Amino acid sequence: MEPDKPDVTDRRRAVALAGYTGDVATAQEGRDDPVGTVRATALGALERLGALTEEDVTTALLDSDAAVRRRGCEVGARMPGVVLLGALSDADASVVEMAAWALGEREDPGAVEMLAGLSARTGGHADPLCREAAVAALGAIGDPRGLPAVLAALEDKPAIRRRAAVALAAFDGPEVDAALQRCLEDRDWQVRQVAEDLMAVE
Protein backbone atom coordinates (compact mmCIF):
# COMPACT_ATOMS: atom_id res chain seq x y z
CA MET A 1 0.00 0.00 0.00
CA GLU A 2 1.36 3.42 -1.01
CA PRO A 3 2.20 5.69 1.90
CA ASP A 4 0.05 8.81 2.01
CA LYS A 5 1.50 12.18 1.07
CA PRO A 6 2.02 13.63 4.56
CA ASP A 7 3.99 10.55 5.58
CA VAL A 8 6.21 10.90 2.53
CA THR A 9 6.78 14.58 3.25
CA ASP A 10 7.62 13.84 6.88
CA ARG A 11 10.04 11.06 5.97
CA ARG A 12 11.77 13.18 3.36
CA ARG A 13 12.10 16.05 5.82
CA ALA A 14 13.52 13.73 8.48
CA VAL A 15 16.10 12.34 6.06
CA ALA A 16 17.09 15.82 4.87
CA LEU A 17 17.48 17.06 8.45
CA ALA A 18 19.54 14.01 9.30
CA GLY A 19 22.18 15.28 6.90
CA TYR A 20 22.55 18.44 8.98
CA THR A 21 22.30 16.91 12.45
CA GLY A 22 24.74 14.03 12.15
CA ASP A 23 22.02 11.37 12.18
CA VAL A 24 23.64 8.77 9.92
CA ALA A 25 21.17 6.03 10.85
CA THR A 26 18.13 8.00 9.65
CA ALA A 27 19.90 8.99 6.44
CA GLN A 28 20.80 5.36 5.78
CA GLU A 29 17.21 4.27 6.38
CA GLY A 30 16.17 6.67 3.67
CA ARG A 31 18.11 4.66 1.08
CA ASP A 32 15.49 1.91 1.28
CA ASP A 33 12.38 4.09 1.39
CA PRO A 34 9.58 2.99 -0.99
CA VAL A 35 9.36 6.51 -2.45
CA GLY A 36 12.02 7.71 -4.87
CA THR A 37 12.18 11.32 -3.69
CA VAL A 38 13.07 10.12 -0.20
CA ARG A 39 15.76 7.81 -1.56
CA ALA A 40 17.20 10.69 -3.60
CA THR A 41 17.22 12.95 -0.54
CA ALA A 42 19.03 10.24 1.40
CA LEU A 43 21.91 10.31 -1.08
CA GLY A 44 22.42 14.02 -0.47
CA ALA A 45 22.17 13.60 3.28
CA LEU A 46 24.69 10.77 3.32
CA GLU A 47 27.11 12.76 1.18
CA ARG A 48 26.81 15.72 3.53
CA LEU A 49 27.58 13.42 6.46
CA GLY A 50 30.58 11.89 4.71
CA ALA A 51 28.85 8.51 4.92
CA LEU A 52 28.00 7.98 1.24
CA THR A 53 29.66 4.91 -0.27
CA GLU A 54 30.44 3.98 -3.86
CA GLU A 55 28.04 1.07 -3.44
CA ASP A 56 25.26 3.52 -2.45
CA VAL A 57 25.79 5.50 -5.64
CA THR A 58 26.13 2.47 -7.90
CA THR A 59 22.85 1.16 -6.51
CA ALA A 60 21.22 4.55 -7.05
CA LEU A 61 22.25 4.57 -10.71
CA LEU A 62 20.20 1.38 -11.18
CA ASP A 63 17.16 2.64 -9.28
CA SER A 64 13.72 2.43 -10.88
CA ASP A 65 13.09 6.11 -10.16
CA ALA A 66 14.73 8.67 -12.47
CA ALA A 67 15.04 11.18 -9.61
CA VAL A 68 17.26 8.76 -7.73
CA ARG A 69 19.37 7.97 -10.78
CA ARG A 70 19.75 11.68 -11.47
CA ARG A 71 20.87 12.36 -7.89
CA GLY A 72 23.23 9.41 -8.18
CA CYS A 73 24.90 11.09 -11.15
CA GLU A 74 25.13 14.37 -9.27
CA VAL A 75 26.85 12.93 -6.19
CA GLY A 76 28.79 10.51 -8.38
CA ALA A 77 30.59 13.46 -9.96
CA ARG A 78 32.61 13.65 -6.76
CA MET A 79 33.27 9.90 -6.53
CA PRO A 80 35.75 8.92 -9.27
CA GLY A 81 35.43 5.23 -8.44
CA VAL A 82 31.80 5.16 -9.55
CA VAL A 83 31.20 4.32 -13.22
CA LEU A 84 28.87 6.90 -14.78
CA LEU A 85 29.19 6.14 -18.49
CA GLY A 86 26.15 3.87 -18.49
CA ALA A 87 23.98 6.76 -17.33
CA LEU A 88 24.61 8.50 -20.67
CA SER A 89 22.30 5.88 -22.18
CA ASP A 90 19.54 6.32 -19.61
CA ALA A 91 15.96 6.40 -20.89
CA ASP A 92 15.30 9.60 -18.95
CA ALA A 93 16.76 12.75 -20.53
CA SER A 94 17.27 14.49 -17.18
CA VAL A 95 19.51 11.63 -16.04
CA VAL A 96 21.54 11.79 -19.25
CA GLU A 97 21.96 15.55 -18.84
CA MET A 98 23.19 15.14 -15.26
CA ALA A 99 25.52 12.31 -16.23
CA ALA A 100 27.11 14.47 -18.93
CA TRP A 101 27.55 17.29 -16.43
CA ALA A 102 29.11 14.92 -13.88
CA LEU A 103 31.60 13.51 -16.39
CA GLY A 104 32.57 17.03 -17.37
CA GLU A 105 33.08 17.90 -13.70
CA ARG A 106 35.38 14.91 -13.43
CA GLU A 107 37.20 15.96 -16.63
CA ASP A 108 37.01 12.30 -17.58
CA PRO A 109 38.80 11.64 -20.90
CA GLY A 110 37.28 8.16 -21.00
CA ALA A 111 33.89 9.75 -21.66
CA VAL A 112 34.89 11.75 -24.75
CA GLU A 113 33.70 9.26 -27.36
CA MET A 114 30.26 8.78 -25.81
CA LEU A 115 29.83 12.50 -25.15
CA ALA A 116 30.76 13.29 -28.74
CA GLY A 117 28.15 10.85 -30.00
CA LEU A 118 25.57 12.25 -27.62
CA SER A 119 26.21 15.83 -28.77
CA ALA A 120 25.58 15.17 -32.47
CA ARG A 121 22.62 17.02 -33.94
CA THR A 122 21.96 14.05 -36.24
CA GLY A 123 22.22 10.68 -34.58
CA GLY A 124 22.87 12.14 -31.14
CA HIS A 125 20.42 12.70 -28.32
CA ALA A 126 16.97 13.96 -29.27
CA ASP A 127 16.81 16.32 -26.28
CA PRO A 128 18.69 19.59 -26.92
CA LEU A 129 19.53 19.93 -23.21
CA CYS A 130 21.39 16.64 -23.35
CA ARG A 131 23.33 17.71 -26.43
CA GLU A 132 24.14 21.00 -24.74
CA ALA A 133 25.36 19.25 -21.59
CA ALA A 134 27.50 16.91 -23.67
CA VAL A 135 29.13 19.83 -25.50
CA ALA A 136 29.79 21.61 -22.21
CA ALA A 137 31.37 18.44 -20.83
CA LEU A 138 33.63 18.11 -23.87
CA GLY A 139 34.80 21.67 -23.26
CA ALA A 140 35.42 20.95 -19.58
CA ILE A 141 37.45 17.85 -20.45
CA GLY A 142 39.39 19.61 -23.19
CA ASP A 143 40.56 16.43 -24.91
CA PRO A 144 41.48 17.10 -28.57
CA ARG A 145 39.35 14.10 -29.60
CA GLY A 146 36.30 16.09 -28.57
CA LEU A 147 37.04 19.08 -30.82
CA PRO A 148 35.26 17.78 -33.97
CA ALA A 149 32.05 17.32 -31.96
CA VAL A 150 32.32 20.82 -30.49
CA LEU A 151 32.86 22.30 -33.95
CA ALA A 152 29.85 20.37 -35.29
CA ALA A 153 27.72 21.70 -32.42
CA LEU A 154 28.20 25.20 -33.82
CA GLU A 155 25.53 24.24 -36.37
CA ASP A 156 22.92 23.28 -33.74
CA LYS A 157 20.31 25.33 -31.86
CA PRO A 158 21.34 28.74 -30.42
CA ALA A 159 21.81 27.53 -26.83
CA ILE A 160 24.01 24.69 -28.04
CA ARG A 161 25.97 27.00 -30.33
CA ARG A 162 26.61 29.29 -27.36
CA ARG A 163 27.83 26.35 -25.30
CA ALA A 164 30.03 25.17 -28.14
CA ALA A 165 31.55 28.64 -28.54
CA VAL A 166 32.42 28.67 -24.84
CA ALA A 167 33.84 25.15 -25.13
CA LEU A 168 36.23 26.31 -27.87
CA ALA A 169 38.23 28.08 -25.16
CA ALA A 170 39.59 24.67 -24.16
CA PHE A 171 41.13 24.06 -27.58
CA ASP A 172 43.55 25.77 -29.93
CA GLY A 173 44.75 25.60 -33.50
CA PRO A 174 43.70 26.93 -36.89
CA GLU A 175 40.34 25.09 -36.83
CA VAL A 176 39.45 26.80 -33.58
CA ASP A 177 40.49 30.21 -34.84
CA ALA A 178 38.42 29.74 -37.99
CA ALA A 179 35.41 28.58 -35.98
CA LEU A 180 35.59 31.60 -33.71
CA GLN A 181 35.79 33.82 -36.75
CA ARG A 182 32.59 32.24 -38.07
CA CYS A 183 30.96 32.72 -34.67
CA LEU A 184 31.44 36.46 -35.08
CA GLU A 185 28.79 36.27 -37.81
CA ASP A 186 26.39 34.01 -35.93
CA ARG A 187 22.69 34.92 -35.91
CA ASP A 188 22.66 34.75 -32.10
CA TRP A 189 24.20 37.78 -30.41
CA GLN A 190 25.36 35.73 -27.43
CA VAL A 191 27.38 33.44 -29.69
CA ARG A 192 28.94 36.52 -31.27
CA GLN A 193 29.68 37.94 -27.82
CA VAL A 194 31.44 34.76 -26.70
CA ALA A 195 33.58 34.79 -29.83
CA GLU A 196 34.45 38.44 -29.34
CA ASP A 197 35.45 37.80 -25.75
CA LEU A 198 37.59 34.80 -26.67
CA MET A 199 39.28 36.65 -29.49
CA ALA A 200 39.60 39.84 -27.43
CA VAL A 201 37.77 41.79 -30.15
CA GLU A 202 36.86 45.28 -28.98
Domain shared by 94 and 159, yes or no = yes
In sequence order, the 6+-apart residues with CB closer than 8 A to the CB of 156 are 121, 128, 131, 164
**What's the first-to-final CA gap in the chain, in angstroms?**
65
- Would the pTM of this model clear 0.75, i.e. be above it? yes
Q: What's 157's domain CATH number?
A: 1.25.10.10
The range of the structural domain enclosing residue 27 comes to 1-83
How far is it, in rounded angstroms, from Cα 2 to Cα 192? 53
In sequence order, the 6+-apart residues with CB closer than 8 A to the CB of 197 are none
- Going residue by residue through the chain, which has 202 residues, state the pLDDT in tens, using 9 for 90 and above: 454 455 999 999 999 999 999 999 999 999 999 999 999 999 999 999 999 999 999 999 999 999 999 999 999 999 999 999 999 999 999 999 999 999 999 999 999 999 999 999 999 999 999 999 999 999 999 999 999 999 999 999 999 999 999 999 999 999 999 999 999 999 999 999 999 999 874 4
Domain shared by 153 and 120, yes or no = yes
DSSP state of 101: H
Residue that terminates a domain, selected from 68, 83, 98 = 83
